[in-house]
Amino acid sequence: MSSSGEFRFNADAKMKAAQSMEGVKVNSSSTGDLLVARDIYKSYRTSRRAGAVVEALRGVSLELSVGKVVALVGESGSGKSTIARILAGQELPSSGEILFDGKVANFRGSKNYRDYKSKVQMVFQDPFASLNPIHTISYHLSRPLAIHDREKDKQRALDELCEMVRLVPSERFLQKYPHELSGGQRQRAAIARALAASPRVLLADEPVSMLDVSIRLEVLNLLDQLRSKFSLAMLYITHDIASARYFADEILVMYKGVIVERGRAEEVTQTPKHPYTKLLIDSSPDPDDLGSNLRSSAGSGSRDVASQGSTDQGCRFAPRCPLAMDRCLSQDPSLISISSSRRVACWAITDDGGDEASVSMEGGVRGKF
């Protein structure tokens, strides 16, 4: 991928990059894959009664590769953060495996766990909650240095970390407490803490959604520069599919514990195939939509709250889906390739030619929901 430098969000550069990515990995065995989740299931018991479980993940596979950003998009409760916690080794999957650099990751025992943690680090959503209010920034950055045996020449390491996330001059920030920093600065400190372990994978769980609109872009730009500078493999979890379009190479759309669509960021956002992806995109705010249905209620009709319901069988999106067929209610569709870079889990798309189905939905999705 050729683009990097100061302004990766430059439209031309990114388009060229997208074209040069033609035929980029689709296949999980290709060489660049660093962290791989293979068929992960995770269920949580909800009460002591036997069988009362919530299936948070139902067979999720994904690959993070060197220098690439994969975005995981979906509504709250879709399992985005669960897969991140499993990738970070903070939780064990009910079944399935995590591979790091081609080898099955071993989290048993504190040494193995620590080794894994030095390679895979996480950045959390809320920088107000993820930093300890009674410790200075210096302390927050020193701990991972100590834990991961990087304490030699500690002061220089601290200065470098501050430099990396542009908390400069570092001596001004190191002695500060979290409450003395703005939201954007706090998130930079949290990113520096993740980098202190000198990881190869960064899992960013909604890293900018708590920040103000004018600050978000800066933090995303920073993450992007770190990605290219250190060839980090990055997972970007968000509910804002528009930011994923600009920031990520590949987008995976999750719905109720499964990936329903995946493909290159520009393709997924511009020609969405799965009805849920379409719904997500149609629901995203569009400042240029002057005839928005929010300006007048004409045609929106009354909405049925019960449409949020779900089934235990078949496609979990079927109760809300305008394309739902009998088959959708009984059989769960699996993720099937529809092109070299695109996979969709939807009977209506994979069964009888994706294009027909997508044409028939053109322009009408928003009204139907």
Residues near another protein (CB under 8 A) are 7, 9-11, 14-15, 75-76, 182-185, 212-218, 221, 239-243, 245-247, 266, 269, 279-281, 283-290, 292-297, 300, 302-306, 308, 369
At closest approach, how far in Å is the CB of 204 from another protein? 16
Q: Rank residues 106 and 221 by Cβ distance to another protein and give the closer one.
A: 221
Burial 313-344 (b: 16+ CB within 10 A, else e): ebbbbbbbbebbeeebeeebbebeebeebbbb
* CA distance linking residue 127 with residue 131, whole number of Å: 6
* CA distance linking residue 93 with residue 43, whole number of Å: 8
At closest approach, how far in Å is the CB of 324 from another protein? 17
At closest approach, how far in Å is the CB of 348 from another protein? 19
Q: Rank residues 8 and 148 by Cβ distance to another protein and give the closer one.
A: 8
Q: Rank residues 134 and 290 by Cβ distance to another protein and give the closer one.
A: 290
At closest approach, how far in Å is the CB of 97 from another protein? 30
At closest approach, how far in Å is the CB of 114 from another protein? 35
Which two structure tokens, joined as six digits, stand for 226?
């770190």
- In sequence order, the 6+-apart residues with CB closer than 8 A to the CB of 59 are 39, 40, 41, 96, 258
Q: Rank residues 51 and 291 by Cβ distance to another protein and give the closer one.
A: 291
At closest approach, how far in Å is the CB of 235 from another protein? 19
Q: Rank residues 217 and 338 by Cβ distance to another protein and give the closer one.
A: 217
Burial 206-229 (b: 16+ CB within 10 A, else e): bbbebbeeebbeebbebbbbbbee
At closest approach, how far in Å is the CB of 216 from another protein? 7
Q: Are 62 and 124 in contact (CB under 8 A)?
A: no
Q: Rank residues 103 and 303 by Cβ distance to another protein and give the closer one.
A: 303
* CA distance linking residue 97 with residue 295, whole number of Å: 48
- Strands in 258-264's sheet, in edge-to-edge order, are 120-123, 201-205, 233-238, 69-73, 250-255, 258-264, 342-344, 336-339
Q: Rank residues 124 and 247 by Cβ distance to another protein and give the closer one.
A: 247
User: What is the CA angle 244-249-252, rounded to 5?
Assistant: 60
